[in-house]
Every structure is written in structure tokens, then in C-alpha cells.
């Protein structure tokens, strides 16, 4: 859950802070006030694309930070990558400077953008106002179904099996078309594989041997440094540990006369314990420092061999294992090409592997499609489309594809007497917004992510439907943390908390959390009409919600 968000020098925001709680929070304000800028900031914080245009005019860099509660699974992810911070807490930070350079931090540790994005997938689920446009694309529909059905890994396996199968088809075609050229390549690749087999580069070996060489090369200075440090700490006259012990003893006796010394004594006792522990560790370290000239010569010889091989194969030394594996795979393909029976066997096996995993994917999709169809139809009924039906259609492809054996299409019928037709062909603008929201509400419930952000997904909707949407989001807020940018007073009134976004005369964006009186003022503005009537209606909306 997102506990706090801080934004500095981002687009039109000078400085803004939000402390968010559980439940359903809304962001409101005039059109163009900058409500969606905050959503964009959250997206950037969790790994979205950024550039220099996002830095506020006159500032050196834009800075974003967010504090999140984390689940056990997220905590394990952080620990695996040595990115842990305070227990149960995660702090993300990102900055973009005038040159467009981006820096990312996770719990104070420097991180890659890919790591930030991966962390963000555990933390925040964003539903934008243009999501309904993407839902008209077959690819987006397929991805949403796979996510809802828990079939994402099967989809990846299917795509890989398809690539492997088609690659072997290419090898088979190549076998009959380019015999002489293939034989020349096979001989060259065989020589390269034989060369690397002599070297036998291991995964991660370069880093290990380089570190070992460095340690052996500086063995004398490492041992001398450890021994001189031990002498100063514990083995010469007037050592640091003995002086520290004497100071502790003296101050401990004096602390009986003045309690203010107790805290100092405790700090020094801790320092004494750590110093003695350091002495023990140094003795252990000094005992195992290796001064082995023969081991140093062997390490140097291995480094030279890996360097030479890397030059011959035109890669960096650390890339040799991957290059070796790549060449071995290519050699197997070329040897298969020289044996028609073998390649046909391999090709048949590759097709069988694809068929097996693709059938599992189809079964998972069928079950997921039925569940998604029922859930979205029920949610549409809650959004004043009681007579409408939603269905996920699976139709068998004439030829298998990397995406599987079926075409996936979202279909809808706005009335029981009408047949189901593709979503893109039947839904009007208002209907499409409601159908999109229904799909996103269902998808959000299935998502394991704790924080859900909706950016004006209620666009094109009004009247009684708006009140229903507000209630739906409020119910969702009982299960997850929900943040919604809205222009509808009925939705805003349903929020457990409300923030107003305004743009000042100098075009700076300001954000303020509203109390009850301020919420009535803001809801009255959103309602329009005569001031007294609007305020009365606003208070009624707030009380009803």
C-alpha cells in the first residue's frame, strides 16, 4: 500500500506531498488543474518512461519518492536482490535531470530502471482513461484474459515453444537449400566450439578468477595491514582495546555519582564489544590470507587464457560462457541439417512440445474466459447495463501461432435480443467507458497488487450511473487501497478521503486534503448551478455516501 508520495519540481508541481491511508481516495479539481500529473508521477516512480520535459521549468531535476507497505512476497523479492530496508517498508526514489538522465533507488540502494519497474508491478496497478482504447486491440484483450486466468507463464512457454519449432523448420529448409554454405559454416563453428571446449569457461568464472587474482596479487599488503591493525588494537603496549576498557571502567564507576554518564558508558561498552569482535575477525582473516606464488601464477595464466579466447571470439571475457553455449546450439543445428532423418525427428518433437503446452494454455483460457464473461456481465449490470451481456470468444486459428491456437475477442450485446458482436463494432462512447470500467474493476479484483489507481476511467459517464460507479469503487476500497482521479461529484462524494488539485496564477500545481466543509465547497463547484442549491446537494451527496 502507498503510504506517502512526495513530488518535487515535476512538470508544473513545485512541491507536493500526499499521505494516503487505506480505502478509497479521490483527486478532484478544475479541468487542466493537473490531476492526472500526479498519476503520471506515480507511474514514473514505479518505472514508467521519463524524459527531460518532465523537469519543472527553472529546476535542475525532478524528484519523486514513495513509501510503501510491503507483503511477504515483496520482502522476499527485495532480500533476493539485497535491496532490503526497514522491516515491512519500501521506499522508492527516482530523479530525472535536465539532460534526461534518470537515477533510481530502492530503499536507498542504487537500482536499475528494470528493477524499479519490476518492483512497481508488485506495488501499483494503473488503470488509465485511455484503457478503453487499448481494449479494442486483440493483443490487449488476449493479455488481459491471460492475466485474469493466471495463464501468463503458459503463454510465455507457448511462445518459446513456437519459436523453437519454427527455428527448426528454418534449419530443415536451410539444409536442402544451402548445403555447401552450411558445411563451411559447420566446420568453422566446430573449430570455435573445440577451441572453447579446451578453455571450458564456466558461468561467472571470470568475475571469480579476477577477484581471486586481485586478492593473491595483494596478499602481502593485506596480511601486513591485518597484522599491523591487530597490533594496534590488541597486541602492542597501550592497545586501543585496553585503553577503551580502562575508559569504560573509569566512567562506569563515576556513573554511580552522575546518571548522565550512563548513556555514554553504554555507548562505549558497545564500542568495546565491537572492537573485540573486530579483533577476533581480523585474527581469523589473517590466518587465512594466502601468500601462494604458485596459485598467483595459475590465476594469471587462467586470466591470460580467458582474455585470449575472448579476443579470438570477439566478446568480453565474462561473455565467453554464453558465447560457448550459443555456438554449441548452432553446431547442433548444423549437424542436424546434415542428417535429414535426425532433423525431422527433432522437428516432430518440437511440434509435439508446442502442441502440448498450447493445449494446456487453451484449457486455461477456456476456464478463464467463462469466469471473466460472467464477472464482467455482472459488473456491467451494476453500472446500469442490466440487459447487456459480455463474452470472451475463443475461436480456433487455421494455423497455430506464437500466441496460441485460438483467436481471442471480447464481444458484447447491449440487449438480450441482439447477437454478440465484437466490442469495437457495437459499443458507443458512453457504453465503451462503462464496459471498460467493468472490465477494469473485475481485473483489479483479480490482481494481487495492493494499490489501484484509476485515472478518469469514468469519462463519458454521468447521472445515476456515476453514483453506482462511486459505490463500486468504495466497495473495492474495502479490499484494496484505491486512488481515483474523477470529475464526477457522485464518485468524489463516495471517497473515504478527498484531495483537491488547483493551479495557481503562476501555473504551479497545489494539492490539499479537504475536510468536510472544504469537500462540500469542492463538490458544489463540481455540481455547478446556484451556489446555495449546489452546496445543499453537495452536503446531501456526502451524507448519502
Question: Residues 203-246: pLDDT tens digits?
Answer: 888 888 877 777 666 666 766 677 777 777 777 666 777 888 88
Domain with CATH 3.40.50.300 in the chain: 1-125+456-513, 130-158+356-449
pLDDT score for 94: 95
- The 10s digit of each residue's pLDDT in 288-336 is 666 667 777 777 788 888 888 888 888 888 888 888 888 888 888 777 7
pLDDT score for 61: 92
Cell reading at 202:
564456466
Which residue from 3, 162, 8 is spatially nearest to 69, judged by alpha carbons? Answer: 3
Here the contacts of 411-418 (C-beta below 8 Å, separation 24 or greater) are 412/388, 413/388, 413/389, 414/385, 414/387, 414/388, 415/387, 415/388, 416/387, 416/389
Residue 3 gets which letter from DSSP?
A: E
pLDDT score for 90: 92
Distance (Å, rounded) from C-alpha 282 to C-alpha 450?
46
pLDDT score for 134: 62
Task: Read off the pTM.
Answer: 0.58
pLDDT score for 12: 85
For 398, phi then psi, to 5°, come to: -65, -35
Residue 86 DSSP SS3: coil
CB-CB contact of 28 with 500 (8 Å): yes
Residue 318 gets which letter from DSSP?
A: G
Average pLDDT value over all residues in the chain: 84
Distance (Å, rounded) from C-alpha 177 to C-alpha 161?
25
Distance (Å, rounded) from C-alpha 324 to C-alpha 328?
6
CB-CB contact of 372 with 392 (8 Å): yes
Low-confidence ranges of the chain (pLDDT < 50): none
- The 10s digit of each residue's pLDDT in 459-489 is 667 677 788 888 888 888 888 898 988 888 9
Q: Who's near 475: CB < 8 A, 6+ residues apart?
A: none
CATH of domain 1-125+456-513: 3.40.50.300
How many other CB atoms are there within 10 angstroms of residue 98's CB atom? 11
CB-CB contact of 409 with 365 (8 Å): no
CATH of domain 130-158+356-449: 3.40.50.300
DSSP letter string over 189-221? HHHHHHHHHHH-PPTTHHHHHHHHHHHHHTHHH
N-term to C-term CA, the chain: 24
Query: By CB neighbour count within 10 A (0-12 exposed, 13-18 middle, 19+ buried), where does 369 fall?
Result: buried
Distance (Å, rounded) from C-alpha 222 to C-alpha 213?
13
Amino acid at each position: 500500500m502507498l503510504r506517502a508520495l512526495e513530488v518535487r519540481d515535476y512538470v508544473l508541481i513545485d512541491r507536493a506531498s500526499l499521505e494516503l491511508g487505506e480505502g478509497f481516495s479521490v483527486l478532484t479539481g478544475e479541468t487542466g488543474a493537473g490531476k492526472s500529473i500526479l498519476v503520471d508521477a506515480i507511474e514514473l516512480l514505479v518505472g514508467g518512461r521519463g524524459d527531460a520535459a518532465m523537469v519543472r521549468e527553472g529546476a535542475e531535476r525532478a524528484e519523486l519518492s514513495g513509501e510503501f507497505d510491503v507483503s511477504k512476497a515483496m520482502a522476499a523479492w527485495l532480500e533476493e536482490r539485497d535491496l532490503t530496508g526497514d522491516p515491512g517498508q519500501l521506499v522508492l526514489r527516482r530523479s530525472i535531470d535536465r539532460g534526461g538522465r534518470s537515477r533510481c533507488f530502492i530503499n536507498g540502494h542504487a537500482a536499475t530502471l528494470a528493477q524499479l519497474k519490476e518492483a512497481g508491478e508488485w506495488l501499483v496497478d494503473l488503470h488509465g482513461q485511455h484503457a478503453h482504447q487499448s481494449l479494442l486491440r486483440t493483443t490487449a484483450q488476449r493479455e488481459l484474459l491471460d492475466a485474469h486466468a493466471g495463464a501468463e507463464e503458459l503463454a510465455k512457454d507457448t511462445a518459446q515453444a513456437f519459436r523453437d519449432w519454427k527455428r527448426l523448420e528454418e534449419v530443415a529448409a536451410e539444409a536442402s537449400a544451402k548445403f555447401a554454405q552450411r558445411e563451411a559454416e559447420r566446420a568453422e563453428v566446430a573449430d570455435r566450439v573445440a577451441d572453447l571446449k579446451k578453455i571450458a569457461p564456466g558461468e561467472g568464472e571470470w568475475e571469480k578468477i579476477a577477484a581471486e587474482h586481485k586478492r593473491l596479487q595483494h596478499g602481502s599488503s593485506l596480511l601486513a595491514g591485518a597484522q599491523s591493525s591487530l597490533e594496534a588494537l590488541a597486541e602492542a603496549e597501550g592497545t586501543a582495546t585496553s585503553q577503551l576498557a580502562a575508559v569504560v571502567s573509569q566512567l562506569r564507576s563515576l556513573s554511580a555519582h552522575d546518571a548522565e554518564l550512563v548513556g555514554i558508558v553504554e555507548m562505549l561498552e558497545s564500542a568495546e564489544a565491537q572492537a573485540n569482535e573486530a579483533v577476533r575477525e581480523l585474527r581469523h582473516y589473517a590466518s587465512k590470507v594466502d601468500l601462494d606464488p604458485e596459485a598467483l601464477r595459475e590465476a594469471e595464466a587462467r586470466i591470460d587464457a580467458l582474455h585470449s579466447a575472448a579476443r579470438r571470439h570477439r566478446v568480453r571475457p565474462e561473455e565467453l560462457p554464453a558465447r560457448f553455449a550459443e555456438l554449441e546450439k548452432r553446431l547442433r543445428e548444423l549437424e542436424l541439417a546434415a542428417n535429414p532423418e535426425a532433423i525431422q525427428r527433432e522437428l516432430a518433437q518440437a511440434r509435439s512440445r508446442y502442441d502440448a503446452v498450447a493445449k494446456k494454455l487453451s484449457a486455461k483460457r477456456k476456464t478463464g474466459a467463462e469466469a471473466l464473461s460472467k464477472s464482467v456481465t455482472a459488473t456491467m449490470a451494476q453500472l446500469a447495463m442490466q440487459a447487456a451481456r459480455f463474452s470472451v470468444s475463443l475461436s480456433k486459428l487455421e494455423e497455430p501461432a506464437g500466441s496460441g491456437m485460438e483467436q481471442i475477442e471480447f464481444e458484447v450485446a447491449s440487449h438480450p435480443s441482439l447477437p454478440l458482436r465484437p466490442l469495437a463494432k457495437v459499443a458507443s462512447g458512453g457504453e465503451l467507458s462503462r464496459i471498460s470500467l467493468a472490465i477494469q474493476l473485475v481485473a483489479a479484483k483479480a490482481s494481487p497488487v495492493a494499490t489501484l489507481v484509476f485515472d478518469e476511467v469514468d469519462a463519458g459517464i454521468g447521472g445515476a450511473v456515476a453514483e453506482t460507479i462511486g459505490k463500486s469503487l468504495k466497495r473495492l476500497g474495502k479490499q484494496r487501497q484505491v486512488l481515483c482521479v474523477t470529475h464526477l461529484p457522485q464518485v468524489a462524494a463516495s471517497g473515504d478521503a478527498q484531495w483537491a488539485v488547483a493551479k495557481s496564477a503562476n501555473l504551479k500545481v497545489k494539492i490539499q486534503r479537504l475536510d468536510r466543509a472544504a469537500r462540500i465547497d469542492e463538490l458544489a463547484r463540481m455540481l455547478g448551478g446556484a451556489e446555495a442549491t449546489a452546496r445543499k446537494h453537495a452536503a446531501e451527496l456526502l451524507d448519502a455516501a
